[in-house]
């Protein structure tokens, strides 16, 4: 059975998140939806942070966050150590975000992506393996070293 995926979106990503749940169900991928659960205005960090925290802690191996463009949720998610959130806008960026960058959070734009394309992006992102080797060295350099408090 595939690893479960954690979902979160703001109001601008709500409709796309609902479509992505259909894609996950079709693929047999279990998921948990942290919300939002309507198109009532909310703040994207309130949903991106819990998804990223769950991935950072290891509770979930992968998460998907959605806002209007995917940019805001990716910025919030990437504040968490160990999270590599990637905005994907086509099949190539989805594949490369996994293959080269080992992205563990996928960020999508509910207002900037066709929903059918977003479903294909999600499927590619879920099925693409990390290439490792030279890419592993580069991914290891993403995290900043911890510094001593002053």
3-class SS letters over 75-106: HHHCCCCCCCEEECCCHHHHHHHHHCCCCCEE
Q: What is the pLDDT at residue 1? A: 73
* H or E segment to which residue 39 belongs: none
**What are the structural domains of the chain?**
5-140 (3.40.1400.10)
- Give every CB contact of residue 27 below 8 A, 6+ residues apart in sequence: 2, 123, 126
Token pair listed for 12: 């601008």
For the entire predicted model, the pTM comes to 0.95
100 is catalytic: yes
End-to-end CA distance of the chain: 47
Confidence class for position 146, pLDDT limits 50, 70, 90: confident
Confidence class for position 132, pLDDT limits 50, 70, 90: confident
- Among residues 11, 37, 49, 67, the one annotated as catalytic is 67
Residue 30 has pLDDT above 80, yes or no: yes
Instruction: Note whether 111 and 81 are within 8 A (CB).
Output: no
Confidence class for position 3, pLDDT limits 50, 70, 90: very high
Residue 92 has pLDDT above 70, yes or no: yes
Q: How far apart are CA 43 and CA 128, in angstroms?
A: 31
The mean predicted confidence, pLDDT, of the chain is 96
- Among residues 11, 100, 115, 135, the one annotated as catalytic is 100
Confidence class for position 130, pLDDT limits 50, 70, 90: very high
Q: What is the pLDDT at residue 150? A: 66
Q: How far apart are CA 15 and CA 111, in angstroms?
A: 9
Q: What is the pLDDT at residue 147? A: 73
- Give every CB contact of residue 122 below 8 A, 6+ residues apart in sequence: 20, 23, 24, 64, 94, 106, 108
> How far lies 35's CA from each of 45, 100, 112, 139, in Å?
12, 29, 20, 30
Confidence class for position 143, pLDDT limits 50, 70, 90: confident
Share of the chain above pLDDT 90, in %: 91
Q: How far apart are CA 69 and CA 24, in angstroms?
A: 21
């Amino acid at each position: 059975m595939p690893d479960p995926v954690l979902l979160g979106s703001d109001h601008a990503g709500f409709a796309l998140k609902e479509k992505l749940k259909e894609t996950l169900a079709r693929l047999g991928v279990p998921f948990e939806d942290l919300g939002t659960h309507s198109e009532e205005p909310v703040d994207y960090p309130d949903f991106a942070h819990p998804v990223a925290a769950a991935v950072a802690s290891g509770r979930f191996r992968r998460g998907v966050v959605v806002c209007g463009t995917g940019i805001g949720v990716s910025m919030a998610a990437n504040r968490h150590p160990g999270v590599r959130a990637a905005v994907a806008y086509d099949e190539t960026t989805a594949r490369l975000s996994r293959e080269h960058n080992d992205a563990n959070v996928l960020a999508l734009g509910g207002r900037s992506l066709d929903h059918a394309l977003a479903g294909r992006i999600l499927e590619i992102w879920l099925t693409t393996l990390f290439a490792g080797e030279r890419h592993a060295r580069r991914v290891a350099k993403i995290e900043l070293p911890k510094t001593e408090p002053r």
